[in-house]
Structure 1
Amino acid sequence: MSCSKENTIKSQDSASTLSFRSKNNIEKVSDTFNNGDTILNVNYETGTFDSGISGVTATHASAADAAYMVNPANNGSNYAIAHKIVYGDTAYNSDGNIRSESDAVAIQSARFFPGDERRYEFSVLLKDWTPWVSGSTYETTIYQLKVSGNSTSGSGVPLQFRTARNAMRLRYEGSNTLKDILSDLRPYINQWLNFRVDVLWADDNTGYMKTYMKLPGQSSYTLVDEKTNFRTFAGNVSVGNVGYIKWGVYVTQSPLTRIAYHDNLRIIKLPL
């Protein structure tokens, strides 16, 4: 299902595979939650890049269509945001690489630190995504739980959602820890996919990270990967590292153009 109408608005920002062998091994999770526990809700129903929330950015890429609003979103909402990158075109370059991403780092309540327990949700549509055939891996990041760095300390990315070949992949901090949660995403191109991550942020081995997925036609989320007794916060608060969310499209290979729609980005305080 693709969107029939797109209204392009110039950016105003300045700056191993899941197996279903046994239903008993699949955890189903309800969609319900207490609205009072919601820290951030970016649903774009204002039709604006910031969803009416001061501190939500659109993109740092300079191309006029690096970020634009989509209407209708065809997911039960009126609006969603689209991000676009084109390999080799410097107008889609920001922060040293080909990327067009939104973030909420400026919103203090939306940041995460060790000791915080949070739920992160987002919906994504891979617009006319070019399938992988052979050669380069064709990896593109579509969502990140990221920790900022600074001049005195490096940091990491606790979790990335990436497409790799024709799979949907989780890449954990350190980049050598991978999990393909959807072995073949081609049947879902131009359809909305829904994801949820529950995290206890910890800078020692006491944290957890649980990732859930809801595919088109499914009524509830399914647990697709879980890490426990795990260091989830990849940084050092004492030198200014902070955690935040980013969504959009980041990196691609020649000769690809990548476009992803995002909607219903939420941060919810746990436990509910």
Structure 2
Amino acid sequence: MNKRFLCFGTPLVVLSFATACTKTNNPAALQAAGSITATGRATAFFTAGDTILNVSYENGTTSSGITGLNPTNAPAPDAAYMITPGGNSNYAIAHKVTLGDTGYYSNEAWRSESDADMAGAAARFLPGDERRYEFSVYLKDWEEWNSANPAYGDNIFQLKVSGGALVPVRILTKRNAIVTRNTSFQDNLVADFRSYINQWIHFRIDVKWADTNTGYLKIYTRLPGQTSYNLVLERNNYATYTGTGLQGQHGYIKWGVYREAGKDAAGNVIIGDNVLTRIAFHDDIRIIALN
């Protein structure tokens, strides 16, 4: 019997196990792909290889035409804006954050980030899901870290869990490296990114989401001048999911610029970074089913 699945909001008939969804820029809302149950589980199901989310920005808007995709919560007019050309196409999104300027402060941090949390159940993750995440990033005129200053981090991508759970995967710049950090480890992905400033860097993240020691995390990079992805980090047999998966708690993706800043004893933010403004471009954000 033919089964009907939904890929990026577009109905597609697939023959038993046969084929993956075609990537599309159809602006239909992802929520059409399913709903969230009482436990937070999405009712949509996918075949390995299906593209669940494809944020290409090819319609020239900061939401990429996807209902529920949030470009930013920061109020500054240029906290999120379109640039051209993109990574492999006509458009991409830029996020900007200036420390100390309230126009770039949102959700209790100096940040401007897009997220797909409300773009539909299909774009979320829970234990048992096996997913591939891809994104391209361009560090616009990224000033080098000054060793005389604290090594604050600037997040450029997060796989986050709602409800106040610890962040299971985030990718950030730290000193002059790009690293990944979770609840128990930090590893270099790009040892020194300075020669790649103002060039597109491509990332691929494969995760088996698990709340027991059965999960895995694999991260690949494709640096400027490279034609294929290279595995730079692999961790197996650990709990990748940091939440409970109950009462609607779930995981979702975020991309943009989130700046870590120091705090004094009273909890006030210390604007002590040697670089006040950071801008990053993002393009080709995808979620692909691996199971």
Name which one, 1 or 2, has greater alpha-carbon Rg.
2
Q: Deviations over 1:221-268 (max 9, x none)?
A: 000001100101110111331100000000153542000000000000
- Partners in 2 of 1:156 and 1:259 — Cα distance? 25
Tell me which residue corresponds to 1:141: 155
Q: Give SS of 1:266's match.
A: strand
The one of 160, 163, 167 equivalent to 2:173 is 163
Tell me which residue corresponds to 2:109: 97
Gaps of at least 5 residues in structure 2 are: 1-18, 23-49, 261-272
- Partners in 1 of 2:275 and 2:225 — Cα distance? 33
Q: 4+ residue runs of structure 1 moved beyond 2 angstroms?
A: 33-36, 252-255
The alpha-carbon distance between structure 1 residues 62 and 55, as it changes in their structure 2 partners (threshold 3 A), is: same
Tell me which residue corresponds to 1:84: 96
Q: Deviations over 1:181-209 (max 9, x none)?
A: 11111000000000000111001111111
The one of 191, 202, 216 equivalent to 1:194 is 202
Tell me which residue corresponds to 1:29: none
The one of 58, 61, 68 equivalent to 2:71 is 58
- Tell whether the 8 Å contact from 2:145 to 2:274 is kept in structure 1 after alignment: no
Larger RCO (CA within 8 A; separation ≥ 6): 1
Tell me which residue corresponds to 1:22: none
* % identical aligned pairs: 56
* Residue 246 (structure 1) aligned with residue 254 (structure 2): yes
- Tell whether the 8 Å contact from 2:146 to 2:274 is kept in structure 1 after alignment: no
The one of 127, 136, 139 equivalent to 1:126 is 139
TM-score (normalised: structure 2): 0.77
Tell me which residue corresponds to 2:221: 213
User: 1:138, CA displacement in angstroms?
Assistant: 3.4
- Partners in 2 of 1:186 and 1:202 — Cα distance? 35
Tell me which residue corresponds to 1:229: 237
Tell me which residue corresponds to 2:51: 38
Q: Give SS of 1:238's match.
A: coil
Q: Give SS of 2:246's match.
A: helix
- Partners in 2 of 1:70 and 1:267 — Cα distance? 22
TM-score (normalised: structure 1): 0.83
User: 1:76, CA displacement in angstroms?
Assistant: 2.6
* Residue 258 (structure 1) aligned with residue 278 (structure 2): yes
- Partners in 1 of 2:231 and 2:158 — Cα distance? 18
Aligned partner of 2:100: which letter? G
Gaps of at least 5 residues in structure 1 are: 1-32
- Tell whether the 8 Å contact from 2:158 to 2:171 is kept in structure 1 after alignment: yes
What is the count of residue pairs matched by the alignment? 232
